[in-house]
Amino acid sequence: MSPLDTIKQSFVVGNHFYVTEDQAQNTPSRADNISAAVEKNLRSYGSELMQEAAILLKLPQVAVSTGSVLFHRFYSRVSLKAFSVKVYAMACLYLGSKCEEEQRKMRQFIAIFQNIMQRREGGALRYFDVTSTAYMEAKAELTKAERVVLRELGFTVHVEHPHKFITSFMNFLGLQNHSALMQSAWSLMNDSLRTDLCVRLKPEAIACGCIFMAARKLNHPLPTNPTPWWHVLDVTIKHISLVTVETLSLYTNPRCEFVEVDPDKAAANARAAAAAIKAEQEEAARALAAVEAAKIASAKEAELQTARSKARESAALAVAQRVEDKKVEPKQASRDASPKRRNRSRSRDRGRDRSDRDRVRGRDRGRDRDGRSRRW
């Protein structure tokens, strides 16, 4: 048995999941009047969500790859209109992490996907309380979505990834030491997970297509004489062309964005967005009114301070004028103006008044005494 036969035989595993070319062109989403461009955009969007969440969750690439394959298998059987990409991308990644024994807590998945949605939609980042009713509803929704995915796939969760075929085929071609070519093919393989190639072609064909693109990118020749190298690996040029076209289209298409394909949900989202905009405008108006009120209060306070300053200046000028009128030295005037000095002056004046009264009374008593003496 040749080394190539040994490689091919070691990767023959049953339980695969593939669709025909006709099924790939006539998906359930297409039956719901969703165009091919919108379907491709939403599938790519879901794959990007899983890739971002995996980085934040610190999941290995194999878990992301498994989740992406399950994601494309699921939407090959159901419509994008009936099942939201945002929820089922999370469910597929959650299921893929379980399949690869890299499970994370459910609350981590919910919180991280919530954070990614807020950043992508341009909303304010909010703390997701795990004790709130919203969290309990999201948890129940994720559990239900996981069960729906398993039911639609018939519990067929075995996935054969092209990554190990890339390594084996590079060794077969004698390029195991060409690290740049290996890394480029590996990166192209990860990018191809955003397309539905994983449900249309076998992993061997996808691996050959990635090696072909990497070799062309680095201008590295591969054997084509007397027989092209992909024929030896039981892959046709049609398969390689399909992988090349689908993968390279990812780099020429615009950035994928979420599109609501359900008219009822789109109308509800539009109403919610309008209500949010109105609430923001009202909040801005209230903030502006508060700022204007603060400015008016500040102006009134400034006027009051100015009036107080003028009153103090007037009092000081009056004191200075009195000092000038009495020809009193400023130092003496300041002492006279002090409370203690004023009290002493008042006490002295009261003492003088009392002495004058006593003298008058004594004189009067003396006169009365003299008068009585003369009468007697």
pLDDT by residue (tens digit) across 221-250?
A: 888 777 888 888 888 899 999 999 999 888
> b or e along 315-343 (b: 16 or more beta carbons within 10 Å of the residue's beta carbon)?
eeeeeeeebeeeeeeeeebeebeeeeeee
Please give the pLDDT value at position 244.
92
199 secondary structure, DSSP code: G
Please give the pLDDT value at position 371.
57
Residues of the chain with pLDDT under 70: 1-16, 123-125, 262-270, 273, 326-376
Please give the pLDDT value at position 213.
92
pLDDT by residue (tens digit) across 147-195?
A: 999 998 888 888 888 888 888 888 888 888 888 888 898 899 988 989 9
Quote the CA–CA distance of 198 and 242 in Å, as a whole number: 12
Token look-up 């070691």 returns 10
Please give the pLDDT value at position 14.
43
- Secondary structure of residue 128 in the 3-state scheme: coil
Please give the pLDDT value at position 88.
93
Q: Which of 69, 244, 61, 235 is nearest to 165 (CA)?
A: 235
Please give the pLDDT value at position 263.
64
